[in-house]
Chain A
Amino acid sequence: MKQKNIRNFCIVAHIDHGKSTLADRLLERTHTVESRDMKQQVLDSLSLERERGITIKLVPVRMNYRARDGLDYVLNLIDTPGHVDFGYEVSRSLAACEGALLVVDATQGVEAQTVANAYQAIEQGLEILPIVNKIDLPSSLPENAKKEIADVVGLDASNAVLASAKDGTGIDEILERVVSDVPPPEGNPDAPLEALIFDSVYDNYRGVICYVRVMNGTLRPGQHILFMATNGRYPVDEVGVFRPGFTPVDCLGPGEVGYISASVKSLAEARVGDTVTDAAKPVDRPLPGYRKVKSVVFCGFYPVERDDYPQLRDALEKLCLNDAAITYEPETSVALGFGFRCGFLGLLHMDVAQERLKREFDVDLVATAPNVVYEITAQNGAVIEAHRPSDFPEIGEIEEIREPFIKLSVFLPSEYVGKVMQLVQEKRGIYRSMDYLTPDRVRLVYEMPLAEFIVDFHDKLKSQTRGYASLDYEFIGLRPSELVRVDVLVNGEAADAFSFICHKDAAYHRGHAAVTRLKELIPSQLFEVPIQASIGKRVIVRVNVKALRKDVLAKCYGGDITRKRKLLEKQKEGKKRMKQIGKVSIPQEAFLAFLQIDGEGK
């Protein structure tokens, strides 16, 4: 295929604006997939993705299209994950394209992720074709949507395609516009090989399969290639394209999108964003934009049954073969025993990993509430990465604590502005801007600690705005914060498992909530048990668990003695199952409550 007849493009859209349905229609119209073989939304290959209507893993596809000019074209569609957690993967996919379809729902207008995605595409220098989708719906307002694209995103939407992916309206026009508007790829087939890995997957039989976009040079089976970030060298077993299944070809030239299979054993050796070059004739420097993904959200995974720890470990190992962005290391918990501390790109990523472990590996697990990583500079200059409260040095030894911040954009109907501003401020949000997109739609921009965002922000936002708000965020780095570690003392003894990190202004409130909760969960003992929350040595709040006042059932004669003893034995076993902190017996539920376990049937 001649380079000038290739078009590489992707679709970007806010969640639910119809991206996957549109992709399905394009495949159907180009006979890449016959409609009778069409599963709903072919590209979302994980069952989980189909259920949730979101795309997590990218699956590219190659379409053959004879345009109205009578020429045959190859259209490579690279689907992108529609979630901010996968921002880096999105950027690499965009880098593999020359054009992007920007899909906007004609009933909803521009949403938070529409803007974020469009800007990313512009940043990558892509040609953007606005598509106003769902025009078949009675409530659709295509002109408003076009106006919002112009006003809010700032793109010329006068020639936007009006489409309905559902009934097929506008599909032909979209294909024509891809051919006419998206520029053909550039690149020199005789230059040294330069290919971008925009995704890689693990196949049980073939090992790692890299999805690549060739920028310059040519890829062939038998060629020795070099992964520039990891310095791995492998002979190529097979190259091919997606039709949409893996189809081997003789070579991949500049501008082409396809896959390489080279017996690479682990995803860590073929990282997304890395540059593949010819081992014998390498390029001087890799393609720009590569970075090693870094986990931003962490949580603990523990087996429901303690004996199932090995199964969980095996499942995590296998899952990580498929998803190099997950990190994990063993940890132990007072309440849950042996498990793993896992790092993720974001909340959705975490959710998906948990779900996949359950479905694909049949592992029953409990997940602890997510948290972030803090960076601490000690007075002696040492820099500490603190994953858990116990990693924090004593309060007097801390020079500065930094925590990850995000820039948060919320699009919402103007009637909810007051409520949402209040919510964001409660979450330590810092106001940046507010724009009226239309008289009744507003964009709020705040900066906010990630730690506050991951707790329950999304749920609260949804309930405050009845689901009418959309949000997008990006990481903007670590910032100093006035954080403190609040310790909980039970009967004067520090109980590590109950410590937590929070802003100093929230310490009293959160400390109060913590000791009150513990008061409910710790059963009465033979003596009064004080429960205190403290910052360093300073106690900020105290409650007491009253001493046990009655624990005896009256009679006990000859025949009762055996029964009585059994009851006492049972009571003893119950006590044994509790964890002793000093003289106080604390039931497992108390520890679980503090981990805010998100267990079965969430």
Chain B
Amino acid sequence: MPLFSPLFSLYLHVPFCVSKCSYCAFYSEPLGETPFLSNPPVSSRPFIMDSFISNPSITKWLLALSREAGYIDEIWEGRPRLRTLYIGGGTPTVLSLSQWERLLGILEGAFDFSVIEEVTVEANPCSLTEGHLRLWRDSFVTRVSVGVQSLQDDELSWLGRRHGSRMALQALEKTLSCGFDVSADLIFGLPFQTLRTWHDSLRGVAGSGVGHISAYQLTLEPGTPLARSSPSLPEGYSFYRFAQWYLPRRGLEQYEIASFSRPGKECRHNAAYWRQDPVLALGPGAWGYLSGFRYRNAPTLEEYAAWAATRPPVAEAERLGAPEGEFSQSHSRPRGVEAAILALRTKWGIDTTSFARRFGEELTEEVLGVLKKIPPRLVEFFEGGVRLTSSGMRVGNAIWVELLELADR
């Protein structure tokens, strides 16, 4: 594998929300006039986005974005070819149609979409409109990830979501009927959630016909209102195990720790992360990964805009977590260990041959050595590779910690 692949994935971060959800730690600026309510009224129809059309923050963001896009050409000497694009947030659907047109225009101007495989947009049921769907269908968007989170109204309101279950299901239906690949996000491990309500949410979403489900466990992220109220959360074992049992029966196989899909509907963009493929970042708070070095753009709109006005934000990006020297060292042990850990998140596991080519026979043997000492019900060796079993996926952290010790040797 060459040091720089000619194909990139791109992550674009839309840092705006109507209001922050209580559990979310992603960067976004709330646009709503009302502060966060623990029990917001469940709206029966999507928010009208008109009030945000002339929002000065969004205008500023779009301007900065177009400046960053302008540097792309300089840096890469031409328009980089994209394999996947993911537009996340924040809440991309708080942008109005005209703002969306501007955004898509910026992207088309800066990148080459000729070999694009997948373009995902995140959608929030309360701001997703038919206008959005039409506009996306007429552009290069192929996939919509809907933030359903739950199909229980009380759970949704506890999470600070501004939509109810009906609205979430409607959003799925509308999106599916427009012909998109649709993914739904669901959250488990809420304090008062029961296996029964979890089943109801899984059943409703699987039954809507989506091809992909991401099932997350609720975690307390530092700095969120939820973490400050420090509720006691369940361990989550039974919810997770139930999802692992139930979703495959509905045709959605687990292909990664948190991801389930119908055949061929796996998220290619996320797979790029798990394969350590090159990912470019665009927008404030967006992160990228280039040849062993992970970076993040300026985390606030203010800083980002200031940078973009004078120089490419990527030049100032914060380098995250990459040990010294990793940038130039293709056989770096820490990078290899991370590659192994990420690969073991997925059902494809570690491909021994390609792993050995990238990181050397020695590390490959060591990784396999560690995995051979793990009880056999947790790991599965197959011709040419090794992966975690369903039980293994449930205790992934403990297995990865064993691997992480190799990075220190």
Contact = CB atoms under 8 A, between A and B. Distances in A.
Contact of B240 (A525, A550, A567): A550
A382 interface: no
B41 to A, nearest CB: 29
Interface string B183-226: 00000000000000000000000000000001111010000000
Interface in A575-602: 575, 583
Given A565-B338, A569-B404, A572-B405, A554 B217 contact: yes
B381 to A, nearest CB: 16
A11 B378 CA distance: 74
A551 interface: yes
Contacts of A562: 287, 294, 320-321
A549 B240 CA distance: 11
B287 A552 contact: no
A549 B400 CA distance: 15
B374 interface: yes
A549 B401 CA distance: 16
A570 to B, nearest CB: 10
Contacts of B374: 526
A249 interface: no
A549 B395 contact: yes
Contact of B395 (A550, A554, A555): A550
A551 B395 contact: yes
Contact of B258 (A556, A568, A569): A556
Interface residues of A, number: 27
Interface residues of B, number: 46
Given A526-B398, A527-B375, A550-B240, A558 B289 contact: yes
B404 A554 contact: no
Interface in A229-260: none
Contacts of B398: 525-526, 548, 551, 571
Tell me if A's interface is mostly helix, strand, loop or mixed.
Answer: loop
B11 A571 contact: no
Contacts of B405: 572
Contact of A552 (B274, B342, B395): B395
Interface in A552-566: 552-559, 561-562, 565-566
A434 interface: no
A553 B218 CA distance: 8
A288 B287 CA distance: 87
A558 B401 contact: no
B375 A526 contact: yes
A445 to B, nearest CB: 55
Interface in B285-314: 285-289, 294, 296
Contacts of B342: 556, 561
Contacts of A384: none
Contacts of B285: 559
A557 B373 CA distance: 28
Given A526-B399, A556-B257, A558-B11, A550 B321 contact: no
A339 B239 CA distance: 48
Contacts of A550: 235-237, 240-241, 394-395
A556 B270 CA distance: 9
Interface in B256-286: 257-258, 270, 273-274, 279, 285-286
A513 B258 CA distance: 41
A548 B375 CA distance: 11
Interface in B80-119: none
A495 interface: no
A561 B273 contact: yes
B65 interface: no
Contacts of B296: 559
A550 B378 CA distance: 12
B404 A572 contact: yes
B184 to A, nearest CB: 14
Contact of B273 (A525, A526, A557, A566): A557
A526 B321 CA distance: 27
Contacts of B317: none
A558 B273 contact: yes
Contacts of A565: 321, 338, 341
A601 B396 CA distance: 40
Contacts of B363: none
Contact of A554 (B215, B274, B399): B215
| Leading 7 A-B pairs by shortest Cβ distance | A554-B258, A562-B321, A552-B396, A550-B237, A559-B287, A562-B320, A551-B397
27 contacts: A526-B374, A548-B398, A549-B237, A550-B237, A550-B395, A551-B395, A551-B398, A552-B240, A552-B393, A552-B395, A553-B217, A554-B217, A554-B240, A555-B214, A556-B258, A556-B345, A558-B11, A559-B26, A559-B287, A561-B273, A561-B289, A561-B321, A562-B294, A562-B321, A568-B401, A569-B404, A583-B373
Interface of B: 11, 26, 214-217, 219, 235-237, 240-241, 257-258, 270, 273-274, 279, 285-289, 294, 296, 320-321, 338, 341-342, 345, 373-375, 378, 393-401, 404-405
Given A550-B394, A552-B397, 20 more contacts: A526-B378, A549-B237, A550-B236, A550-B395, A552-B393, A554-B215, A554-B240, A554-B258, A555-B214, A555-B216, A557-B270, A558-B279, A561-B338, A562-B294, A565-B321, A568-B341, A568-B400, A571-B401, A575-B401, A583-B373
